Structure 1
Amino acid sequence: MLSGDGDHQAGTRSEHGSGRGSGRGSGRLVAGRYLLHDILGQGGMGTVWRAHDQLLDRPVAVKELHILTHGDEEHRIRLRRAVREARAVARVPHPHVVGVHDLAESQDRLWIVMELIEGPSLAQHLTEHGPLTAQHTATLGLQLLDALVAVHAAGTLHRDVKPANVLLRRDGNAVLTDFGIAVLDDGEFLTTTGELIGSLEFMAPERVMGAEVGPASDLWSLGATLATVCGGQSPFRRPARPATLHAVAYAEPTLSERLGPLRPVIEALLRKSPHERPTTTHTRQALHHIATGHTDPEPLLPSPTGHTTRPTPTPTPTPAPTPAPGPQLADADTLTRGRQHPAPAGHSGQSGQSGQTATHTTSLRPTPQPSSSSRGAKRLGWTLAATAALAAGVAGSLFLTGVLPLTKDPVTTTTRQAVKSTTGWQPVRGMTIQQGDKVTVRFLSGQWTVDHVNIPMTGPAGYTTAIDQSLAGAKDCKIKPAAPFGTLLARLTGQQNPPLHSAGRKLTFKAADEGTLQLAINDIADRCVHDNKGTLTVQVTVTHQP
Structure 2
Amino acid sequence: MRELVISGDGDHQAATHAGRGSERLIAGRYLLHGVLGRGGMGTVWRARDQLLDRPVAVKELHILPHGDEEQRIRVRRAIREARAVARVPHPHAVGIHDLVEAEDRLWIVMELVEGPSLAHRIAETGPLAPRHAATFGLQLLDALEAVHAAGTLHRDVKPANVLLRPGGDAVLTDFGIAALDDGEFLTTTGELVGSLEFMAPERVMGAEVGPASDLWSLGATLATVCGGQSPFRRPARPATLHAVAYEAPVLPDRLGPLRPVVEALLRKSPDERPSAAGTRAALRRVAAGEADAGPLPSATERVLRPSAPVADADTVTSGPGRLVPAGGTVPTASHTTSLRPCPGQPSRPAGPRRVLWALAGTAVLAAGVVGGLFLGGVLPLKADPKTTTAGRTVESATGWQPVSGVSVQQGDKVTVRFLSGEWTADHRNMPMTGPAGYDADTDRLLDGAKDCKVKPAAPFGTLLAHLVGERDFPVHSVGRKLTFRAAGDGTLHLGMNDAAGSCSEDNKGTMTVRVSVTHQP
Q: TM-score range by the shorter chain?
A: 0.5 to 0.7
- Other-structure match for 1:258: 254
Report if aligned partners of 2:246, 2:375 keep a CA contact under 8 Å in 1.
Answer: no
Q: TM-score, normalised by structure 2?
A: 0.56
- Other-structure match for 2:383: 347
Q: Residue 83 and residue 201 in structure 1: after superposition, are their counterparts in 2 closer, same or farther (change >3 A)? A: same
Unaligned runs of 5+ in 2: 1-5, 189-193, 305-320, 322-338, 340-346, 348-361, 385-521
Taking the aligned partners of 1:146 and 1:228, their CA distance within structure 2 comes to 19
Taking the aligned partners of 2:107 and 2:150, their CA distance within structure 1 comes to 22
- Other-structure match for 1:139: 135
Taking the aligned partners of 2:370 and 2:94, their CA distance within structure 1 comes to 39
Sequence identity of aligned pairs in percent? 69
Of the candidates 208, 231, 234, which is equivalent to residue 212 of structure 1?
Answer: 208
- Other-structure match for 2:183: 190
Q: Residue 181 and residue 113 in structure 1: after superposition, are their counterparts in 2 closer, same or farther (change >3 A)? A: closer
Task: Tell me by how many angstroms 1:44 deviates.
Answer: 1.7
Deviations 1:215-257 (A, max 9, x none): 1110000000000000100000000011111111111111111
Taking the aligned partners of 1:347 and 1:162, their CA distance within structure 2 comes to 29
Q: Residue 81 and residue 23 in structure 1: after superposition, are their counterparts in 2 closer, same or farther (change >3 A)? A: farther
Of the candidates 81, 105, 108, which is equivalent to residue 112 of structure 1?
Answer: 108
Deviations 1:403-450 (A, max 9, x none): xxxxxxxxxxxxxxxxxxxxxxxxxxxxxxxxxxxxxxxxxxxxxxxx
- Other-structure match for 1:286: 282
- Other-structure match for 2:510: none
Of the candidates 70, 73, 76, which is equivalent to residue 69 of structure 2?
Answer: 73
Cα RMSD (Å) of the superposition?
3.0
Q: Residue 338 and residue 63 in structure 1: after superposition, are their counterparts in 2 closer, same or farther (change >3 A)? A: closer
Q: Residue 286 and residue 176 in structure 1: after superposition, are their counterparts in 2 closer, same or farther (change >3 A)? A: same
SS at match of 1:156: coil
Q: Residue 208 and residue 334 in structure 1: after superposition, are their counterparts in 2 closer, same or farther (change >3 A)? A: farther
Taking the aligned partners of 2:176 and 2:109, their CA distance within structure 1 comes to 13
- Other-structure match for 2:88: 92
Deviations 1:505-542 (A, max 9, x none): xxxxxxxxxxxxxxxxxxxxxxxxxxxxxxxxxxxxxx
Q: Residue 336 and residue 213 in structure 1: after superposition, are their counterparts in 2 closer, same or farther (change >3 A)? A: farther
Of the candidates 263, 266, 286, which is equivalent to residue 267 of structure 1?
Answer: 263
Taking the aligned partners of 1:196 and 1:29, their CA distance within structure 2 comes to 28
Taking the aligned partners of 1:190 and 1:47, their CA distance within structure 2 comes to 22
Moved more, 300-309 or 32-41: 300-309
Taking the aligned partners of 1:308 and 1:56, their CA distance within structure 2 comes to 55
Task: Tell me by how many angstroms 1:46 deviates.
Answer: 1.1
Aligned length in residues: 316
Of the candidates 155, 158, 163, which is equivalent to residue 151 of structure 2?
Answer: 155
Is 1:165 aligned with 2:158?
no
Of the candidates 280, 301, 305, which is equivalent to residue 306 of structure 1?
Answer: 301
The aligned amino acid for 2:184 is T
Taking the aligned partners of 2:383 and 2:24, their CA distance within structure 1 comes to 48
Report if aligned partners of 2:7, 2:173 keep a CA contact under 8 Å in 1.
Answer: yes
Of the candidates 231, 251, 261, which is equivalent to residue 227 of structure 2?
Answer: 231
Taking the aligned partners of 1:137 and 1:340, their CA distance within structure 2 comes to 32
Task: Tell me by how many angstroms 1:339 deviates.
Answer: 7.5
Q: TM-score, normalised by structure 1?
A: 0.54
Of the candidates 236, 242, 253, which is equivalent to residue 246 of structure 1?
Answer: 242
Taking the aligned partners of 2:244 and 2:107, their CA distance within structure 1 comes to 34
The aligned amino acid for 1:347 is A
- Other-structure match for 2:454: none
Taking the aligned partners of 1:196 and 1:112, their CA distance within structure 2 comes to 18
Unaligned runs of 5+ in 1: 12-16, 315-327, 349-546
Report if aligned partners of 2:200, 2:217 keep a CA contact under 8 Å in 1.
Answer: yes
Taking the aligned partners of 1:32 and 1:253, their CA distance within structure 2 comes to 49
SS at match of 1:52: strand
Task: Tell me by how many angstroms 1:91 deviates.
Answer: 2.1
- Other-structure match for 1:540: none
Taking the aligned partners of 1:240 and 1:33, their CA distance within structure 2 comes to 44
Report if aligned partners of 2:247, 2:376 keep a CA contact under 8 Å in 1.
Answer: no
SS at match of 2:258: helix
